[in-house]
Chain A
Amino acid sequence: MEMVCIVCPNGCRLSVERTGDKVTVSGNKCKRGEAFAVNELTNPTRSVTTSVKTTVKGYPVISVKTDGEIPKGKIFELMNLCKQIIVTEPLPIGATVATDLFGTGVNLITTKTMEETNE
């Protein structure tokens, strides 16, 4: 089958063949493409960037991301979880707002420093 690698902006067009347990990948410029194709067939995963609400002045929401990939099927579950989170103090960039998502060991972290002095 054909698929497009989404690991980097190159977007390599991959040809993937599956014979039994063996998966052969061609068209990839780097080995991350092969790992992506195998993953996509067995357990597709995605990193997610979104935002969560805060009560901090000047920041109605703060941007966050998963610090690794979570199963693709869990994306909307993660979005529901994000709706429950409210950040109540100014956090630096990289601060954890939710840990070990769905038992994957992946955390949700902030991607922006919230500065207190801004008006």
Chain B
Amino acid sequence: MKFDTVVIGGGPAGLAAAICASKGGASVLLIEREARLGGILKQCIHDGFGVVRFGEKLSGPEYADRFIRELAQTNVQVSLFSFVTRTVKNQNTYNITYVCKDGVRHAECDRIVLATGCRERTRNGIFVHGDRCAGVYTAGAAQNLVNILGVMPGKRVVILGSGDIGLIMARRLTLEGAKVVGVYEAKPTPSGLTRNIHQCLNDFDIPLYLSKTVTRVFGETRLEKVEISDVDEKMRPIVGTEQLVDCDCLVLAVGLIPENELARDLGITLDPKTKGAVVDQNCQTLADGIYACGNALHVNDLVDYVSESGETAGNHCARPFKMRDLKPIQTVGKLLYVVPQRLDVNSDVSKVVMYFRASEELADQRLTVTAGGQKVFDRVYGKLLPPEMERIAVDFGKAANLDDIVVKLEGK
């Protein structure tokens, strides 16, 4: 089968991309590996989604439902239980091989949208030594067990990582009857939203321990205890500070990494800072016709922005091909990353949405965007935190010359 666009991944980014590409007139195939659409939102049953987009607090499944309904009104062809095994570039098109219930299938398309989301760092990713016993889960795996399968991962739980996912799982497991003995965080400050510290931990008297991490796990068949160590300012465990904590379950909420196996197969340039593809303002990667959006592009904190980047990619997929002229976007100052990393000066530059994170906690900062030495954007921030992504919209049309684009963060 030949399609204009194939979207890989049926989570919030893929749903938005498929809807927009289809509304723009493209024929679209949406490939999803699971039984249902919605991606990780299916298991994020807590609320707080959609505050930016819909102005209301929705649960994850409710947020996904709005897009799934909208998708049903389009001509998008959806293939569930389908897993992409190979993508190959032809002269002007791409060939996609995927495995589904009917066996191995092929689709040819002009454009591909990579909306494959991200995956969790595991025990191996953070070097927790010890026995290979049952009872060690990533937060997402534990969330899937509780919220989709209705099974508890343990009775006495230690959580490592104070990001929002760790905090939300602490509350969820407590509500379902588990004893959460503590949330441990290697950094000296909590990573999650202050609001979640209050409503997830304080409301339930769950202790939060900072500058401590899990260094070893013990258990013959099932987890019996974990070793906790203090860490120094470089987050290295300090010898002699070890203490043992009894538990039958360790939940790891220690970070997310964009999933980019397919991008790598296609030889797409990745950004070492975001670990996602390098893209222009239309979410098109450096390979013509291949787009990346959502958490596959960079890990977002709000789903609203995941949907937004999906829409950007989808809208552009419906437009005719045009030669690009890509200019690099340089960053100066304490910026963890800026997305997009390129500006296509042959397409619309008047409403360029940019996302950035500061590389450390900063007060009283000024962000400026210049092109050809001319200032096109300027904003002052009272406080910037690495866990909180910022979004700006820049009009590069104001600049006379787009040769030298710089995003700069400096003290006010």
Contact = CB atoms under 8 A, between A and B. Distances in A.
A111 interface: yes
A113 interface: yes
A9 B172 CA distance: 18
Interface in A80-112: 93, 111-112
A68 to B, nearest CB: 12
Contacts of B151: 60
B62 A93 contact: yes
B65 interface: yes
B1 interface: no
B48 interface: yes
Given A6-B198, A79-B176, A47 B47 contact: yes
26 contacts: A4-B198, A6-B199, A8-B57, A9-B193, A9-B195, A46-B199, A46-B203, A47-B47, A47-B57, A50-B45, A50-B176, A51-B45, A51-B147, A51-B150, A60-B151, A61-B147, A61-B149, A63-B147, A65-B45, A75-B175, A93-B61, A93-B62, A112-B42, A115-B36, A118-B35, A118-B36
A113 B59 CA distance: 13
B51 interface: yes
Contact of B59 (A5, A10, A76, A111): A111
B124 interface: no
Interface string A31-59: 00000000000000011111101000010
A11 B47 contact: no
A9 B48 contact: yes
Interface of A: 3-6, 8-11, 13, 46-51, 53, 58, 60-61, 63, 65, 72, 75-76, 79, 93, 111-113, 115, 118-119
Given A9-B193, A11-B193, A63-B61, A111 B45 contact: yes
A111 B48 contact: no
Nearest to A10: B195
Contacts of B147: 51, 61, 63
Contact of A72 (B36, B146, B149, B203): B203
Contacts of A118: 35-36
B393 interface: no
Contacts of A76: 175
